[in-house]
Amino acid sequence: MQNIIEIKNATLFQGSTKVFDRLNLEISSAYNTAILGPNGAGKTTLLKLINRDFYPVVAKHSFVKLFAKERWDVQELRSRLGIVSQSLQQNYSGDTIGLYVLLSGFYASDGIWQHQHFDEIKIQRAQQVAQQLGIEHLQDREFSSMSTGEQRRFLLGRALVHNPPVLVLDEPTSGLDISACFQYLETIRGLTSMGKKLILVTHHIHEIPPEVERVIFLKEGKIVEDDTKKNLLTSDKLSRLFDIPIKIIEENGYYQAVPDIL
């Protein structure tokens, strides 16, 4: 199975903070993977490293390979990935109308620019995705006038419009109400059953769909555990990861954390 990500000895700074110190990580396309860790662990930074928003410090025997390649035309790389993140939602150009939010996925841009051209085939594809996600009635609405959940659906559509093999999601259900959260999870599950690989980056245990097989714990910029979901999503392991007594409840392949009160 091909590696989606292979990171070797990557050191990375955000401002003056050293987020990763010689990080090693491999994610193969054999499994759907969740990267779990507390606030500030480096999850979003890792995602930015994957998306080539950031580069590690240049060092001998250090590299970041994506789909087994170190050098990429960023545009070409992004066409292989469908990314949905909160920072994208915050930074997305608010006056873009729904249909164009979807179309912007063809350029992995956070709005629409004059030089971008959309032929009939692309427009039809965007409309098809809108229909699949049940957002076709919002196609003419400005992004800024949509609710959080509606925006999230459009960003998922934007990530899907170019049909990438891998979806990378950063806290995908944050800010969604229970119904929107469950619907979103069902959509993600449907996509994995169609063969899309999932890399989920989160601190919310409840948004890990049953299809996730491998879990990686990230804490203070370090991989502290890497195992099957069954072995890691336990009360004991999660209490250690989050430094607080946690009780884990499992139901139908979903997990929920509650305080472990004696």
* Site residues, ligand ATP (CB under 6 A): 14-15, 17, 19, 37, 39-45, 203
Question: Cβ 53 to ligand ATP, closest distance in Å?
Answer: 11
Q: Please report, as a single letter, which amino acid is at residue 251.
A: E
Question: Cβ 36 to Mg ion, closest distance in Å?
Answer: 12
Question: Cβ 223 to ligand ATP, closest distance in Å?
Answer: 13
Cβ-based nearer residue to ligand ATP, 85 or 96 = 85
Query: Residue 19 binds what, of ligand ATP, Mg ion, none (CB under 5 to 8 Å, by partner type)?
Result: ligand ATP
Q: Does 45 bind Mg ion (CB under 5 A)?
A: no
Q: Does 89 bind Mg ion (CB under 5 A)?
A: no
Q: How far is 175 from 172, CA to CA, in rounded Å?
A: 9
Query: Residue 40 binds what, of Mg ion, ligand ATP, none (CB under 5 to 8 Å, by partner type)?
Result: ligand ATP
Stretch of residues binding Mg ion (CB under 5 A), selected from 42-50, 95-103, 188-196, 227-235: 42-50
Cβ-based nearer residue to ligand ATP, 43 or 237 = 43
- Encode the chain in three state secondary structure: CCEEEEEEEEEEEECCEEEEEEEEEEEECCCCEEEECCCCCCHHHHHHHHCCCCCCCCCCCCEEEECCECCCCHHHHHHHEEEECHHHHHHCCCCCEHHHHHHHHHCCCCCCCCCCCCCHHHHHHHHHHHHHCCCHHHCCCEHHHCCHHHHHHHHHHHHHCCCCCEEEEECCCCCCCHHHHHHHHHHHHHHHHCCCEEEEEECCHHHCCCCCCEEEEEECCEEEEEEEHHHHCCHHHHHHHHCCCEEEEEECCEEEEEECCC
Query: Residue 125 binds what, of ligand ATP, Mg ion, none (CB under 5 to 8 Å, by partner type)?
Result: none
Question: Cβ 15 to ligand ATP, closest distance in Å?
Answer: 3
CB 228 within 8 A of CB 214: yes
Q: Does 44 bind Mg ion (CB under 5 A)?
A: yes
Stretch of residues binding Mg ion (CB under 5 A), selected from 44-52, 66-74, 87-95, 124-132: 44-52
Question: Cβ 14 to ligand ATP, closest distance in Å?
Answer: 4
- Residue with the CB atom nearest ligand ATP in the bound state: 15
Cβ-based nearer residue to ligand ATP, 39 or 252 = 39
- Give contact residues for Mg ion (rule: CB under 5 A): 43-44
